[in-house]
Amino acid sequence: MKILDRMSVIRAMIPTRGEAHDLALRWKKAARVEPELAGDLIRLGGVLSIQPDEYRGGLPSDAAIDPLRAAYQKGRRDMAVQILALMGVTHDELKILMEEDE
């Protein structure tokens, strides 16, 4: 099972069918040649990152949100997720990549 609906992601990024096909082929080839690319994208894109807690009075509470930082992180994460979709990363592959970091 694929993580994302690859075709929806690709169609949203690239309007023409031929260009989308070529782009997907390039990234799938890159993933085959360099399997570590998926893990790099997940880490660099912050795909699995969680927001830190702040402690107030000894109790955890949500950290204050900086809108500029949040927008930056969302853009970075979205780009990584789009490339992972192009690469055809599956749930099982993502699980393996997460376990390799432990």
Give the confidence band of 1 by pLDDT, cuts at 50, 70, 90: very low
pLDDT over threshold 60, residue 4? no
Q: Which of 29-33, 35-39, 64-68 shows the lowest mean pLDDT across its residues?
A: 64-68
27 neighbors 40 (Cβ within 8 angstroms)? no
pTM of the model: 0.60
Find, among 12, 15, 17, 36, the residue nearest to 87 by Cα: 36
3-state secondary structure of 48: coil
